[in-house]
Amino acid sequence: MTFDDDDALAAHVQALLDATLPKARWTHAGHLAATAGLILLRPEIAPDTALPALIRRLNERHGVPNSDTRGYHETITLFFLAAIRHALARDDFTRPAHARVNALLAGPLAGGKAVMARHWSDAVLFSAEARRGWVPPDLKPIPYPIGG
């Protein structure tokens, strides 16, 4: 997934906001792009408070239950939100938003849950507690703060 311009990225973000993003685009890359695009293009929306409801609503629209085993995952969401903020803070802020998001999608965060495997054991990361709320890493601390 890449974006040709900021309008394409804005449409992706808007589709998350409207819960119309097609399931085929609601992949790990789609999550990263929507979150980064939200940060870059919609500064009036606080992702820390907005993302949980947006993700849950889109999951429901796609028939994915938000339960202790599927759907929304608080620890993963908060980790990637912090990781995206960290990456964007070190990126060239003079580049267009879509170029910054494309670079993010080509970088280490594209590895998905494998990126988290350095920090969390599967037993902890995939627990019901980690889905419901923030659970700190049990293997190795993360190098950036959680929370806006």
**Which H or E run contains 130?**
helix 128-132
Does residue 123 contact residue 63 with C-beta atoms inside 8 Å? no
d(C-alpha 117, C-alpha 63), whole Å: 28
Residue 133 is given by DSSP the state S
Tokens of 129: 């507690």
Longest dimension (CA), the chain: 41
Residue range 24-62, pLDDT digits in tens: 999 999 999 999 999 999 999 999 999 999 999 999 999
What's the confidence (pLDDT) of residue 112?
84
List the chain residues with pLDDT less than 50.
none
